[in-house]
């Protein structure tokens, strides 16, 4: 059963004051807060279990290695991956996409090939492909966004061709909250023999991800948005594709044998994990996964949907406020603006009342250019937020309007 108060008690930061007001944290799309179990797991590792992994024959190192590799197994099960070796630990989604873009530029792309992305992508799913195209002569193609914030699927279908070598697409827009029809898009791409990379930074915290059911070729995650520490993430890739990609970085633990005449690399996933990893972060990720697995996910999803409806209805009643992104299928992210008040002023005013939102371009400059706005204010909810948080947001925005106008 979904017990909201019990869940809120699990997140110590929610009981703190900000500017002498109870913290109302509505910036979950930027990073999530961490439950005590995750915080304590990281702290305890450094207190009683700190050691490097894979290379020690002493018990402390062996135990750290076992916990690190157990997390790989747990995460594979969490996303329904077929093999543990298809789970690669990275710093986050940005590094994961860069790893794949580098691999494609080195071993797959050639002049005239096409990479397909959308107009709503985060910069981390634009810039690496621009660089890959510059290096190989490939061409970047962009799926347009409709006025309501949904993708133009007809345009997507028209852009697919024998030249397309990869579809790299966001599952849930961090700026709009739009939930894209990923499964059907994957099916259509596969009909052309096109592999699909899914940016799951925003989706994993809000919906259950099943990579086997989606049949995606790559799916990337950031731990810090999944109630885990910063600096850790996961790249899932089908074995047949990971095998084709060269190492992204070299040295340290990704080697099998080094000689001045040449080097032999480890197999999967080791060849992509150079150097000492974020061991404590991975252990924190393990605790976050366990926390989510104990959670009533259906109840959590229903609760977030209710918060989104409440916020959408409340904001719609404020004169002069305009919602950006009103697609039918949305996650609990809502972007808005006032024509006469800059988004940064909105954020500063709300902060004075203890309310934390995100303002700016949200690392989606091309998307905001499409809407002809320089910045928006964004409120994003997690399952630990409550109806009072939404009420505080709406009432504070009403006060702000009277203050400025």
- Summarised one tens digit per residue, pLDDT across range 209-220 is 999 999 999 999
Kindly report, residue by residue over 286-300, the tens digit of the pLDDT: 999 999 999 999 999
Cβ(271)–Cβ(89) below 8 Å = no
> What pLDDT is attached to residue 5?
98
Cα–Cα distance, 159 to 242 (Å, whole number): 25
Q: How far apart are CA 116 and CA 400, in angstroms?
A: 42
State phi, psi for 221 to the nearest 5 degrees. -130, 150
pLDDT > 80? residue 402: yes
pTM of the model: 0.97
Q: Is 363 a known active-site residue?
A: yes
Would you tell me how many other CB atoms lie within 10 Å of the CB of residue 364?
A: 25
**Arithmetic mean of pLDDT, 307-332:** 97
> Average pLDDT, stretch 269-286?
97
Q: Note the pLDDT tens digit of each residue in 61-79.
A: 999 999 999 999 999 999 9
Average pLDDT rounded to a whole number, residues 93-105: 98
Round to whole Å and give the CA distance between 264 and 267: 9
Q: What is the average pLDDT score of the chain?
A: 97
Query: 118-153 pLDDT, tens per residue?
Result: 999 999 999 999 999 999 999 999 999 999 999 999
b/e map 124-148, b = 16+ CB within 10 Å: bbbbbbeebbeebebeebbbebeee
Whole-angstrom distance, CA of residue 118 vs CA of residue 144: 6
DSSP characters for 254-290?
A: GEEEEETTEEEE--TTGGG--SS--HHHHHHHHHHHH
pLDDT range class, residue 403, cuts 50, 70, 90: confident
DSSP string covering 33-91:
---HHHHHHHHHIIIII----SS--SHHHHHHHHHHHHHHHHHHHHTT-S-GGGEEEES
pLDDT for 49 beyond 80: yes
Question: Going from the N-terminus, what domains does the chain have, and what CATH number goes with each?
Answer: 4-26+296-397 (3.90.1150.10), 39-293 (3.40.640.10)
Average pLDDT over residues 318-336: 97
Indicate whether 349 pLDDT > 90.
yes
Q: Which two tokens stand for residue 287?
A: 């605790």
State the DSSP H helix or E strand holding residue 218, giving kind and residue range, or none if neither. Answer: strand 218-222
Q: E-assigned strands of 345-387?
A: 355-356, 358-360, 376-380
The encoded tokens of residue 192 equal: 């052309």
Q: What's the mean pLDDT in 244-271? A: 95
The answer on pLDDT for 271 being more than 80 is yes
The yes-or-no verdict on residue 166 having pLDDT over 70 is yes
Average pLDDT over residues 335-348: 96
For residue 405, is pLDDT > 80?
A: no
pLDDT per residue as tens digits for the range 364-393 = 999 999 999 999 999 999 999 999 999 999
Under the banding of pLDDT at 50, 70 and 90, the label for residue 55 is confident
């Amino acid at each position: 059963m979904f017990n909201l108060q019990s869940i809120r008690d699990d997140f110590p930061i929610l009981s703190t004051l900000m500017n002498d007001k109870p913290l109302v944290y509505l910036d979950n799309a930027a990073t999530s807060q961490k439950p005590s179990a995750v915080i304590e797991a990281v702290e305890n590792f450094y207190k009683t279990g700190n050691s490097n992994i894979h290379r020690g024959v002493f018990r402390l190192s062996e135990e750290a290695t076992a916990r690190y590799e157990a997390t790989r197994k747990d995460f594979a099960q969490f996303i329904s991956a077929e093999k543990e070796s298809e789970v690669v630990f990275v710093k986050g989604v940005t590094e994961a996409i860069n790893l794949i873009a580098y691999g494609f530029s080195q071993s797959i792309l050639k002049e005239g090939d096409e990479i397909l992305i959308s107009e709503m992508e985060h910069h981390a799913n634009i810039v690496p492909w621009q660089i890959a195209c510059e290096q190989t002569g490939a061409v970047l193609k962009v799926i347009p966004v409709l006025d309501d914030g949904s993708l133009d699927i007809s345009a997507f279908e028209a852009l697919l061709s024998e030249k397309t070598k990869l579809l790299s697409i966001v599952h849930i827009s961090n700026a709009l909250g739009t939930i894209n029809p990923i499964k059907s898009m994957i099916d259509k791409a596969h009909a052309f023999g096109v592999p699909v990379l899914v940016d799951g930074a925003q989706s994993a915290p809000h919906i259950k991800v099943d990579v086997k059911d989606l049949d995606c070729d790559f799916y990337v995650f950031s731990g810090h948005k999944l109630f885990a520490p910063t600096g850790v993430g996961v790249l899932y890739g089908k074995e047949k594709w990971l095998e084709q990609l060269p190492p992204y970085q070299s040295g340290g633990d990704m080697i099998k044998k080094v000689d001045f005449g040449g080097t032999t690399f480890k197999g999967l996933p080791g060849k992509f994990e150079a150097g000492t990893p974020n061991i404590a972060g991975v252990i924190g990720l393990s605790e976050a996964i366990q926390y989510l697995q104990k959670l009533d996910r259906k109840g959590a999803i229903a609760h977030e949907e209710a918060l989104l409806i409440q916020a959408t209805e409340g904001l719609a009643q404020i004169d002069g406020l305009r919602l950006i992104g009103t697609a039918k299928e949305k996650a609990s992210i809502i972007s808005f603006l006032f024509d006469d008040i800059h988004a940064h002023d909105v954020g500063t005013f709300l902060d004075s009342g203890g309310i934390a939102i995100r303002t700016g371009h949200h690392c989606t400059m091309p998307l905001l250019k499409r809407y002809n706005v320089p910045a928006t204010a964004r409120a994003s909810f997690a399952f630990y937020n409550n109806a009072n948080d939404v009420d505080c947001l709406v009432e504070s925005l009403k006060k702000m309007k009277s203050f400025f106008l």
